[in-house]
Amino acid sequence: MSNRMRSRRWFLKGSARAATAAGLLPVVASAQNSPSTPGRVMTSLSDYMSAAPSKALPGEVAEQAKFHLLDTISAMISGSELPPGQAAQRYIRERGGNGTVSVVGSALTAAPIDAALANGVMAHADETDDSHNESRSHPGCAVVPAALAAGETYGVDGAGLLRAVTLGYDIGTRVVMAMGGAGFSYESSLSTHSIAGTFGAAAAAACAARLDARQMRWVLDYAAQQSSGFIAWRRDTDHIEKAFVFAGMPARNGVTAALLVQSGWNGVDDVFSGPDNFFAAYAPKAEPDRLIEKLGERFEITQTDIKKWSVGSPIQGPLDGLEAIRAKKPFELDQVRQVSVRLAPSVAAVVDNRDIPDICLQHMIAVMLVDKTVSFHAAHDKPRMQDPVVLKQRAKVNLARDEELATSLPARETIVEVEFADGSRLSERVVAVRGTPRNPMTRAEVIEKARDLMTPVLRREMSVRLIDSMLDIETIADVRNLRRHLQRGG
- pTM value is 0.86
What pLDDT is stored for residue 95 in this prediction? Answer: 87
Distances (CA, A) of 358 to 36, 74, 212, 326, 362: 47, 17, 42, 21, 10
What pLDDT is stored for residue 15 in this prediction? Answer: 46
Domain count, the chain: 3
Same domain assignment for residues 303 and 340:
no
CATH number at residue 319: 3.30.1330.120
Residue 87 domain-assigned (yes or no): yes
What pLDDT is stored for residue 12 in this prediction? Answer: 44
Asked which of 258, 275, 307 is the last residue of a domain, the reply is: 307
What pLDDT is stored for residue 237 in this prediction? Answer: 84
Is-contact 252 260, C-beta < 8 A?
Answer: no
Residue 490 domain-assigned (yes or no): no
What pLDDT is stored for residue 25 in this prediction? Answer: 38
**pLDDT per residue as tens digits for the range 80-99:** 999 999 999 999 999 866 79
**pLDDT per residue as tens digits for the range 370-385:** 999 998 889 989 999 9
**Residues with Cβ within 8 Å of residue 390, at least 6 apart in sequence:** 363, 366, 367, 370, 384
Same domain assignment for residues 112 and 159:
yes
Same domain assignment for residues 381 and 300:
no
Average pLDDT score over residue span 304-332: 95
Q: Which domain holds residue 397?
A: 313-430
Same domain assignment for residues 343 and 215:
no
Asked which of 275, 307, 339 is the last residue of a domain, the reply is: 307
**pLDDT per residue as tens digits for the range 247-262:** 999 999 999 999 999 9
Same domain assignment for residues 146 and 259:
yes
What pLDDT is stored for residue 6 in this prediction? Answer: 47
Same domain assignment for residues 254 and 373:
no
Same domain assignment for residues 267 and 339:
no
CATH number at residue 93: 1.10.4100.10
**pLDDT per residue as tens digits for the range 432-461:** 999 999 999 999 999 999 998 999 999 899
**Residues with Cβ within 8 Å of residue 4, at least 6 apart in sequence:** none
Same domain assignment for residues 243 and 378:
no
**pLDDT per residue as tens digits for the range 406-426:** 998 888 899 999 999 999 999
Same domain assignment for residues 218 and 130:
yes
pLDDT at 141 over 90: yes
Q: Average pLDDT of the chain?
A: 91
What pLDDT is stored for residue 459 in this prediction? Answer: 87
Same domain assignment for residues 70 and 16:
no
Percent of the chain with pLDDT over 70: 92
Same domain assignment for residues 301 and 415:
no
> Which of 27-31, 34-38, 268-272 has the lowest average pLDDT?
27-31
